[in-house]
Structure 1
């Protein structure tokens, strides 16, 4: 079974956020085919989580929380810059949704 291109997943996440009355912004555009995806989940302007799409041992993809993003804005900016230096093909999205936890649970359906 083939995997979806990163740009297709990103567009699906943006549409899902907007359909639910949320807002989505592409902070960094990555490789359209195989770029990694990192999502800054925001709820009512407050950051709730930073999730990264990673390959699982069984060959599927899943979302993992990135606690190394820190708790303040300065740590977050440093984390994102570090990740972009490490992976220049990285997509970074910010999704501001009504319920970050519920939205995160629904993201797996897009894969």
Structure 2
């Protein structure tokens, strides 16, 4: 059984804080099944945007996992913010979580798949 998005986001926040990082919900979406986008900001100005992975990323060994894919990275935060704004217009029920992971990599916090 898959957990609600609200519960999953709460667990992500706890993992980030537990690793000494910082996290905040920038936009709260649908409680039950909203798509989650994660904006990761590094301490040196680098930014990465992760979004829901395609359905082809489904792993039968981990049926309850949420998979993510890297949608963009670099030091142009404005471009990634614009991408998020387009996503919000397309689906107003999305969640946006911003993290600064500190000592752990984003890949340790999220199940990242490459398409």
Runs of 4+ that moved beyond 4 A: none
- Equivalent residue for 1:88, pick from 75, 89, 92: 92
Q: Structure 1 residues 52, 30: closer, same or farther in 2, change over 3 A?
A: same
Q: Which runs of 5+ in 1 are unaligned?
A: none
TM-score w.r.t. the length of structure 2 is: 0.78
The CA distance in 1 between the partners of 2:96 and 2:39, in whole Å, is: 7
Aligned alpha-carbon RMSD (Å)? 2.1
1:14-58 Cα deviation digits (max 9, x unpaired): 000100111111110000110000000122252341111235324
TM-score w.r.t. the length of structure 1 is: 0.80
Paired positions, count: 105
Q: Which runs of 5+ in 2 are unaligned?
A: none
1:48-70 Cα deviation digits (max 9, x unpaired): 41111235324643110002x77
